[in-house]
Copies of this chain bind each other. A is one copy, B any other.
Amino acid sequence: MTRARRPDLAELERGVRAGDRGLLARAITLVESVRAEDREAAQTLVNALLDRTGGAYRVGLSGPPGVGKSSFIETLGCVLCDRGHRVAVLAVDPSSSLTGGSILGDKSRMVELSRRDEAFIRPSPSAATLGGVARRTREALLLCEAAGHDVVLVETVGVGQSETAVADMVDTFCVLAQPGAGDELQGIKRGILELADVVAVNKADGSLLPAARIAVAELQAAFHYARPRGGGWAPRALAVSAHERSGIDEFWEAVEAHRAAIAATGELESRRVEQRRRWLWDEIRELTLRRIEADETVRERFVALEDEVAAGRRTPGAAAAELVAALFPPRGD
């Protein structure tokens, strides 16, 4: 197989269908490109592969820096590979382009998993906005499915709205936490727990074991009032130790129990349908914005209108009417 600098679309499609990790990586590079001609090619590619998508179980995992997310994913990924799964790991990290370092940029953090033939690990794309990262990751997820990965883990750090973006592209959303000094979970924004289907309290080993157990018990109590996430599912909290490799099986059992619960009620499919509809509107919004930006007159007007709206000097309704009128020239009918 040739490794030309720019494989053509047919080659990329064949490569992805064959599960070739090198060509999968190049296909993802194509969907991450912001160049207009690449965007068009990427759409063609992803569309051509759609018949092979939807088969993976999509699992989100959020956790603050230092919680041991890489070790946990590596351990989990290896366990799943041992069971015959083909695991892909993607990342959504809108801060990577700012800090210069992606949370998954250094593959050496997952040495063992990256050596497995069944695994594919991809760092977060560099993009200025969370929206851009999320859109590209949703397409990368489809490509991983088309390449035959039946488990896709989407990792994110607890910054900004990245958890919401990830929760909106997966079937099951998990949070990895660790006990703090007091009775708090360290580094966890409280709102994140409300998105969680499964919460794993890591570092349930050594001196932190008692604190981890208390945290799990408190979480279970708190989930009494937490949002049911469809399928009548009550979120689960459990203790894990990536270090001692304990609780990993129980974690995956909880993920599979969640999957079974939402699959049984049809929630799994209806959730994905809803995600696709929201994604369509995201794209329409993004493309509309680009049209606005591409037209200098309209762009200047939009910026001025948005400022006036934000300052409360013009109603959103009036501003939107003026803008949409400018965007859609009257048709001669």
Query: B-contacting residues of A (Cβ < 8 Å)?
Result: 39-40, 42-44, 46-47, 50, 53-54, 135, 139, 142, 189-191, 193-194, 218-219, 221-222, 224-228, 272-273, 276-277, 279-288, 291, 295, 305-306, 309-321, 323-324, 327-329, 331
Contacts and interface: CB of A to CB of B under 8 A. Distances in A.
Contacts of A273: 310-311
Contacts of A285: 281, 284-285
Contacts of A309: 276-277, 279-280
A311 B270 CA distance: 10
A160 to B, nearest CB: 14
A53 B312 contact: yes
Nearest to A291: B328
A318 B47 contact: yes
Contacts of A225: 190, 193, 218-219, 222
Contacts of A44: 318
Contact of A276 (B279, B291, B310): B310
Contact of A280 (B193, B227, B280, B306): B306
Contact of A327 (B272, B306, B319, B328): B328
Copy total for this chain? 2
Contact of A315 (B142, B221, B222, B310): B142
A314 B47 contact: yes
Contacts of A321: 39-40, 43, 283, 287
A319 B190 contact: no
Contact of A46 (B224, B317, B324): B317
A284 B320 contact: yes
A151 B191 CA distance: 29
Chain A binding surface, main DSSP class: helix
A279 B316 contact: yes
A191 B224 CA distance: 11
A316 B193 contact: no
A304 to B, nearest CB: 12
A237 to B, nearest CB: 11
A43 B319 CA distance: 9
A286 B227 CA distance: 29
Contacts of A312: 50, 53-54, 272, 276
A225 B315 CA distance: 36
A42 B39 CA distance: 41
A229 to B, nearest CB: 9
A38 to B, nearest CB: 12
Contacts of A281: 285
A287 B320 contact: yes
Contacts of A323: 284
